[in-house]
Every structure is written in C-alpha cells, then in structure tokens.
C-alpha cells in the first residue's frame, strides 16, 4: 500500500493524526484502537447484528459536540447554548423521517434497549397516564392527589405486553424476566409453528384475544423470515393493543426498500424502534419512529429514561442516515439478502439443517445438533478457524439459552466488504468443513461436555487460510492506511 504523502487519503491522515494525539496521553488506548482494526480486517464476520460504519460516520463521533449538555428536545432544552445540537438533531431527525416515511423521529436513544424503554413509556403515557390525568382534571402528574397518583402508579405498573418468545427469535426487551420490560409488564410470548418454524398468525391472534395486551410487539433478533406487519396490525386493532415494531435487526432492509408494503413496519405500526448500528450501518445507537400522536411522549425520553443526548453520536446518526438515503444503499440492502440466500443455499446443499429451511432476510439460523455439538462448541470451533459467529438458541432448544443448539449467521458485514453470492457459497463450505471436523470432548469425568470440543487435525489451519484468501479480495476500510 502506498504511503506516499502525495496520495495519502484524508481518512488515513485523519486516523494517523488521531492515534498520534491519543497515544501521547495513553498509548495503550491508541494501540487497542489500531489492534481492533487489524482484528476486524482479519476475520470473517458473520455476526448478524454487526457491521462496519463508514469513515465519515466514525469521524463524526469524535469531537466537541460531545461536550455539550442538551437535555430536552429542539427548542425546549434544559440548558443554554444548544443551537448547534439543535441543528444536528434537526438534520438527523429529518433524514430519519424522510428515509423511513415516518411522521415523527426521535434520534436521542443511546441504544436499541434504550429506544424500547422510551417507546414503552411513551405508549404507557399516551394510553394510561394521559387519560388518567384528564379524568382527574389534572395537567401534569404533580397536580394529582396522593390517592389518584397511587392509583395511576398501580395501573402504569400492571399492563400487559405480548412479544415473540425468546427461543423463537424475540429479544429480551420484549417482556422477558431478565430485562426491566419483564418486570414492568405482565408478559406473554408468542412462538412459531413447531413443524415449520414459521410465525403462525392465527396462533398469535388467538393468544392475543385471550391475553388482551396493551402492547403487541413484533420484531426479532433471530428469525430468518419476513413478518407481515399489516396482519400484526390487524391483530393489534382487534384486541385494542398498540402495535410496536422493533426493527433493530432489519432496519437496513427497510431503509433500502427491500421490505415494503405489508412488510414495512413504519406504515403499519404506531411506534417503531431500531438500533442504528446493525444493518443500518451507523454509529451504535437507537431511534424511535412513529405516528405523530405519540410524538410528545416519545420526545420526553430524556430525562424520562435516558441520560443526556450524545450530540456527537446524533451527528454520526445523521451522516449514516444521509448515506442510507443514497441510491447505493438500496443496492447494498438488496445484496445483503441475496448473500444470505446464497449462504443458506450453500449450507443446505452441503447437508446442513436450517431453522425454517432457509431465509428471506439478512440472517440464517443453523441448527448444529446434527453434527453432535452444541452451539457453544460450534461457535468456538468456528472462531478458532477464523469465522466469527454467535451461538443462538433454536425453537424448543434442548440445550437452553446458554449452550444452545444453534449458530446465527448474518450477511450485513460481509456485504459491506463487498462479498458476493459465490463467496458466500464458499463461506458455507468453510462452515460445514469446520462443523464436520468438530466433535465433543468429554469432560475429565468422562461425561459429555457442552463446552469442550476437538477440532480434527488441519481443519482450523486450512479454513483460516481459505478465509484469509477471501478477506484479501475485499479489504476492509481500503482508504485507511495506518502504517
């Protein structure tokens, strides 16, 4: 690579300078930042929730917008001197509204989990708190009598929420016990059909009719198919629930117009939450989109449940959203799905078992039980071979959520690097080679282990070298040379 000062790119110049300045204060941090780039370049990343943000997005995060306190929203701040944060937030929010066709966009959430918490409180405020205030003739909660306030608190804390079960691919924040959502709501999950692995809308409908949730959540972290949000909205309307869609995983496919009509959550749901760093390819963060009727309550996210807005991160969200409005992003989204299909077909052709038998989106859920290993063992053996994935439970998983029987694979990151379908087919071959070469290593007692494994001689070396050949064809951050 040329480091000639005449041809050095602005990105290389920016990062070399940044690392030099950081290194003067804490060399360990500068070294870790460089090492992370080296590691990311050298691994075949199939983690379905990860991606590579552009240099412009990354650079927008490191500056003095971070030094400003700006609690509240545009024009309604708790601090003085927020004009530039107002500008940044207005640009980000306009890009979000235009990109997704949403009536309202709130760009402050620090992550997907935070976005969901903002959304839950906004729906509770809109559906429970506002009517209670009105009934008591009060303008705000501080005007309520002790008795009315006690009653309101009890009803805010006793609502019902229904979301996709964890083992069917739902997310912890959709009402499950280890998360605050499972403690604030009385929860019931809906699953997938045990035969097909597909979402069964009739089963969701009858469960919703019986349970009558205030909030029906649709969205997932590990479901390899599309969801018909128009049908989910019908079900929500039938039972008086508010439909909230968490598109954290597939927002890039919505932005890139791969998911349209009944499969686009934005026109079908009242409130839509997302992360910005998964298929959307922005900085780590979240967004809440939705109907104008929820706007006031959504905008109270900070300081209701969020700490002060991160102006630098919102700036990076604006840059990423501007990128996602370019025609090239539609092409990117299309290629993510084509690549996932090529990966699924490559795995199936080589005898693998996939949950639901394939994919319609950006991810594939591989059932590894046929290879006689747990998800945990498969994940470790693949990592040793240069392939980064994560273990994931499959429906009715006999190994539970910790060891699991599945591996989740996604194509957003490799698609960003420029991988195409024939290369994903080769990736499928590498994965199957590793899984066929992996076996359980019994614990010292001789009993089966869910953790330890043996990888047949030479497999890791061969797969690592073939992975390196594939990676060399598609360099990561080609405009950045730190040497």
As annotated, the active-site residues are: 69, 71, 246, 275, 278, 284
Alpha carbon distance 454, 436 (integer Å): 11
466 sits near ligand PLP (criterion: CB under 6 A) = no
Q: Contact, 166 vs 221, CB < 8 A?
A: no
Q: Report the residue number, 93 or 275, with the smaller CB distance to ligand PLP.
A: 275
Region binding ligand PLP by CB under 6 A among candidate stretches 7-15, 144-152, 216-224, 441-449: 216-224
Q: Estimate to the nearest angstrom the gap between the alpha carbon of 109 and the chain centroid.
A: 13
385 sits near ligand PLP (criterion: CB under 6 A) = no
The distance of closest approach from Cβ of residue 220 to ligand PLP in the complex, given in angstroms and rounded to an integer, is 6
348: burial class by Cβ within 10 Å (0-12, 13-18, 19+)?
A: middle
Choose which of 43, 49, 359, 405 interacts with ligand PLP (CB under 6 A).
Answer: 49
Region binding ligand PLP by CB under 6 A among candidate stretches 28-36, 109-117, 318-326, 385-393: 109-117
Helices (H), 225-350: 229-239, 251-255, 265-268, 295-298, 301-304, 311-324, 327-349
The distance of closest approach from Cβ of residue 379 to ligand PLP in the complex, given in angstroms and rounded to an integer, is 18
Region binding ligand PLP by CB under 6 A among candidate stretches 89-97, 110-118, 180-188, 224-232: 110-118
Alpha carbon distance 428, 138 (integer Å): 62
275 sits near ligand PLP (criterion: CB under 6 A) = yes
Alpha carbon distance 161, 173 (integer Å): 11
Q: Report the residue number, 254 or 381, with the smaller CB distance to ligand PLP.
A: 254
Region binding ligand PLP by CB under 6 A among candidate stretches 107-115, 352-360, 379-387, 423-431: 107-115
What is the x/- site pattern for ligand PLP, positions 401-440, by CB under 6 A?
Answer: ----------------------------------------
Q: 219 CB contacts (<8 Å, ≥6 apart)?
A: 163, 164, 170, 171, 174, 227, 245, 246, 247, 248, 249, 265, 273
Q: Contact, 346 vs 428, CB < 8 A?
A: yes
Region binding ligand PLP by CB under 6 A among candidate stretches 52-60, 188-196, 244-252, 315-323: 244-252
CB atoms within 10 A of CB 221: 23
Alpha carbon distance 170, 164 (integer Å): 5
The distance of closest approach from Cβ of residue 247 to ligand PLP in the complex, given in angstroms and rounded to an integer, is 8
Region binding ligand PLP by CB under 6 A among candidate stretches 132-140, 245-253, 296-304, 351-359: 245-253
Q: Output the CA torsion sign for 295, 297, 299, 301.
A: negative
Q: Output the CA torsion sign for 45, 50, 56, 58.
A: negative
Region binding ligand PLP by CB under 6 A among candidate stretches 9-17, 61-69, 106-114, 463-471: 106-114
248 sits near ligand PLP (criterion: CB under 6 A) = yes
Site for ligand PLP in 126-185 (CB under 6 A): 171, 173
221 sits near ligand PLP (criterion: CB under 6 A) = yes
Choose which of 60, 106, 112, 337 interacts with ligand PLP (CB under 6 A).
Answer: 112
Q: Report the residue number, 40 or 111, with the smaller CB distance to ligand PLP.
A: 111
Q: Report the residue number, 118 or 480, with the smaller CB distance to ligand PLP.
A: 118
Q: Tokens representing 347?
A: 């795995």
388-408 burial, b if ≥16 CB within 10 A, otherwise e? Answer: bbbbbbbbebebeeebbbbbb
CB atoms within 10 A of CB 265: 30
Q: Report the residue number, 213 or 282, with the smaller CB distance to ligand PLP.
A: 282
Q: Contact, 418 vs 331, CB < 8 A?
A: no
CB atoms within 10 A of CB 448: 12
Q: Which residue is nearest to ligand PLP (CB)?
A: 112
Q: Report the residue number, 104 or 249, with the smaller CB distance to ligand PLP.
A: 249
The distance of closest approach from Cβ of residue 218 to ligand PLP in the complex, given in angstroms and rounded to an integer, is 10
Q: Report the residue number, 49 or 411, with the smaller CB distance to ligand PLP.
A: 49
What is the x/- site pattern for ligand PLP, positions 292-321, by CB under 6 A?
Answer: ------------------------------
255: burial class by Cβ within 10 Å (0-12, 13-18, 19+)?
A: buried
The distance of closest approach from Cβ of residue 168 to ligand PLP in the complex, given in angstroms and rounded to an integer, is 12
Q: Report the residue number, 144 or 166, with the smaller CB distance to ligand PLP.
A: 166
The distance of closest approach from Cβ of residue 277 to ligand PLP in the complex, given in angstroms and rounded to an integer, is 7
Cis amide linkage into residue 322, ω under 30° from 0: no
Cα torsion through 33, 38, 39, 44, rounded to 10: 140
Count of residues in contact with ligand PLP, rule CB under 6 A: 14
The distance of closest approach from Cβ of residue 162 to ligand PLP in the complex, given in angstroms and rounded to an integer, is 15
Alpha carbon distance 278, 50 (integer Å): 5
Interface residues with ligand PLP (CB under 6 A) are: 49, 111-113, 171, 173, 219-221, 246, 248-249, 275, 286
């Amino acid at each position: 690579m040329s480091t000639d000062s005449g041809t050095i790119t602005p990105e290389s110049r920016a990062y070399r300078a940044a690392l030099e300045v950081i290194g003067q204060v804490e060399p360990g941090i500068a070294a870790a930042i460089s090492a992370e780039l080296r590691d990311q370049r050298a691994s075949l990343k199939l983690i379905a929730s990860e991606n590579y943000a552009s240099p412009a997005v990354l650079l927008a995060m490191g500056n003095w917008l971070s030094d400003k306190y700006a609690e509240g929203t545009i024009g309604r701040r708790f601090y003085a001197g927020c004009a530039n944060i107002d500008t940044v937030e207005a640009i980000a929010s306009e890009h979000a509204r235009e990109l997704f066709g949403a009536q309202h966009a709130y760009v402050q959430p620090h992550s997907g989990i935070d976005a969901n918490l903002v959304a839950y409180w906004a729906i509770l405020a809109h559906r429970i708190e506002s009517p209670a205030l009105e009934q008591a003739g009060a303008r705000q909660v501080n005007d309520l009598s002790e008795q009315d306030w006690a009653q309101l608190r009890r009803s805010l804390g006793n609502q019902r929420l229904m979301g996709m079960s964890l083992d069917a691919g739902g997310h912890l924040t959709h009402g499950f016990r280890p998360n605050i959502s499972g403690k604030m709501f009385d929860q019931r999950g809906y699953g997938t059909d045990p035969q097909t692995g597909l979402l069964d809308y009739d089963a969701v409908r009858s469960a919703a009719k019986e349970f009558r949730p205030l909030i029906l959540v649709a969205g997932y972290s590990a479901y390899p198919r599309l969801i018909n949000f128009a049908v989910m909205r019908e079900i929500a309307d039938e039972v008086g629930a508010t439909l909230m869609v968490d598109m954290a995983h597939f927002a890039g496919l919505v932005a890139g117009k791969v998911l349209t009509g009944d499969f686009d959550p934005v026109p079908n749901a009242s409130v839509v939450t997302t992360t910005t760093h998964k298929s959307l390819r922005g900085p780590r963060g979240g967004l809440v989109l939705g109907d104008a009727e929820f706007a006031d309550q959504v905008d109270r996210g900070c300081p209701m449940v969020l700490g002060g807005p991160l102006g630098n991160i919102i700036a990076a969200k604006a840059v990423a959203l501007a990128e996602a409005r370019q025609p090239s992003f539609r092409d990117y989204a299309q290629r993510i799905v084509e690549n996932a299909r090529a990966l699924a077909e490559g795995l199936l052709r080589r005898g693998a078992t996939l949950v639901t038998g394939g994919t319609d989106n950006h991810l594939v859920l591989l059932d590894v039980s046929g290879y006689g290993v747990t998800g945990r063992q498969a994940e470790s053996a693949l990592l040793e071979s240069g392939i980064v994935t994560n273990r994931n439970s499959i429906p009715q998983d006999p190994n539970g959520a910790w060891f699991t029987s599945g591996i989740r694979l996604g194509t957003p990151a490799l698609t960003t690097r420029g991988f195409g379908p024939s290369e994903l087919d080769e990736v499928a071959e590498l994965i199957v080679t590793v899984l066929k070469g992996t076996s359980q290593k019994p614990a010292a007692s001789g009993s089966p282990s869910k953790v330890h494994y043996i990888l047949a001689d030479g497999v890791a070396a061969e797969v690592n070298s073939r992975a390196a050949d594939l990676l060399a064809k598609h360099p990561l951050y080609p405009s950045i040379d730190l040497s």
